[in-house]
Amino acid sequence: MTGGRRRTPNPPGLHVLRTGFAAELVRHAGITRDDLVIDLGAGTGALTGPLASTGARVLAVERSARLARSLERRYAAAAQVRVIEGDMLAIPLPRRPYRVVANLPFSIAMSVLGRLLDDPRSGLRRADLVVPWHLAVRLAGAGHGGSRTRRWHRRYTFRVARRLNAGAFRPPPSVAAGVLVVERG
């Protein structure tokens, strides 16, 4: 404890992306002011800020009521940012074209991918996702995996954009991470 305040640990699998890496991820995603983009697990807003600076409409989804309120205060004057307090695995996803830029909690990355990719009517056009390295490499491999991932490969292309070192995160994860880019085919 410091200063009488107890620090709440990150939930398992949650590793906050450092500011420089967050800005780089958004830059490489090529977000434009015409995009609707969802920041799943917005947390402290590491990606929300760089996304908002593109002029795009941003939906910042955060499960923690405390963090969602903090994001609402921080972006109150930003008309293009809407904060949604809710579970990323349960919120309704748009049917109209949208993009996702997110640093997914590693412990639920595959579940989130299922939420984004299972519905063939989804409006998802592209997702730039920070995920465990082994998952990025496995999904970027052509046609590997079970019937679910084979279905995904019929609708989407997968590629690994880059590997991220542990220094890109606070706290550093115990496994390697990478940026997985998923685009509707």
pLDDT band for position 12 (50/70/90)?
low
Give me the mean pLDDT over the 157-167 stretch.
95
As a whole number, mean pLDDT of residues 147-164 equals: 95
Residue 2's pLDDT is what? 37
Q: Residues 6 or more apart from 160 whose CB is under 8 A from it?
A: 136, 137, 140, 178, 179, 180, 181
* pLDDT of amino acid 10: 44
* Contacts of 46 by beta carbon, 8 Å cutoff, 6+ apart: 16, 17, 18, 19, 22, 103
For the cut 70, the answer to whether the pLDDT of residue 11 exceeds it is no
pLDDT at 15: 81
Average pLDDT over residues 90-110: 96
DSSP 75-141: TTT-TTEEEEES-TTTSPPPSS-EEEEEE--GGGHHHHHHHHHS-TT--EEEEEEEEEHHHHHHHHS
The confidence score (pLDDT) of residue 142 equals 64
Q: pTM for this structure?
A: 0.91
Query: Distance (Å, rounded) from C-alpha 178 to C-alpha 165?
Result: 8
Provide the residue ranges of all domains of the chain, joining segments of one domain with +: 16-184
How far does Cα 99 stand from its chain's mean position? Answer: 10
Tokens for 3? Answer: 């200063």
Q: What does the alpha-carbon distance between residue 60 and residue 80 come to, in Å, rounded to a whole number? A: 11
Higher pLDDT, 15 or 39: 39
Is-contact 164 114, C-beta < 8 A?
A: no
pLDDT-based confidence at 9, cuts 50/70/90?
A: very low
Instruction: Please check the confidence at residue 62 and state whether its pLDDT lies above 90.
Output: yes
Q: How far apart are CA 68 and CA 125, in angstroms?
A: 26
- Per-residue confidence (pLDDT) for residue 141, from 0 to 100: 87
Task: State the average pLDDT over residues 61-86.
Answer: 98
Give yes or no for residue 178 having a pLDDT over 80.
yes
Q: What is the topology classification, in CATH, of domain 16-184?
A: Rossmann fold (3.40.50)
